């Protein structure tokens, strides 16, 4: 019997807690904004168990869909895309922040064919702006974004941003769910 999604979600929350990925206190985010918590996803995406759990959750959700490629913007999403590619047996794409200024001058590594159905993955999202840039690169190169997956949604506007673009954002976990989990397991 396949591992149920709710079991994976509980395991993901447990692993994030055990690895101290979501920290509470006073933090300044990369945007300059102040926050009372910090999601240290770079720490998470270097842990094999967390990657495997996230990749299994994503693979379960896409296995009945007609997906050709798994895409991840550099740097944080590349391990997630790699793990999901290995489990789902779907080829992956790496999206650079900008075109290389040397060699082949590619912004997409991996083979994106016109009309390919693509899911895009990310480690954490706040407003969704950086993920939308990667989505635009894929669409500008002929790919169809089917869904976007993020390990942790900070719930600060990304879902609404994606709804405007008519792309479904599927967080594996929201910050509210994690806080609720902590309150129930302390």
Return binding residues for 5-phospho-alpha-D-ribose 1-diphosphate: 96-97, 100, 122-130
Closest listed residue to residue 151, CA positions, set 22, 65, 3? 22
Binding positions for orotate: 126, 154
Binding positions: 96-97, 100, 122-130, 154
């Amino acid at each position: 019997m396949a591992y149920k999604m709710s079991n994976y979600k509980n395991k993901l929350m447990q692993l994030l807690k055990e690895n101290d990925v979501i920290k509470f206190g006073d933090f300044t985010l990369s945007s300059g904004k102040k926050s009372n918590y910090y999601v240290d996803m770079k720490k998470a995406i270097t842990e094999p168990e967390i990657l495997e759990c996230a990749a299994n959750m994503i693979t379960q959700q896409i296995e009945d869909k007609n997906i050709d490629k798994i895409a991840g913007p550099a740097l944080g999403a590349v391990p997630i895309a790699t793990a999901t590619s290995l489990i789902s047996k779907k080829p992956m794409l790496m999206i650079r922040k900008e075109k290389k200024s040397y060699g082949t001058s590619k912004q997409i590594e991996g083979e994106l064919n016109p009309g390919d159905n693509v899911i895009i993955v990310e480690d954490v999202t706040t407003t969704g702006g950086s993920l939308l840039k990667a989505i635009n690169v894929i669409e500008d190169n002929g790919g169809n974004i089917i869904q976007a997956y993020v390990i942790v949604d900070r719930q600060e506007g990304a879902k609404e941003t994606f709804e405007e673009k008519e792309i479904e954002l599927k967080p594996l976990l929201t910050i509210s769910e994690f806080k609720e989990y902590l309150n129930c397991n302390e």
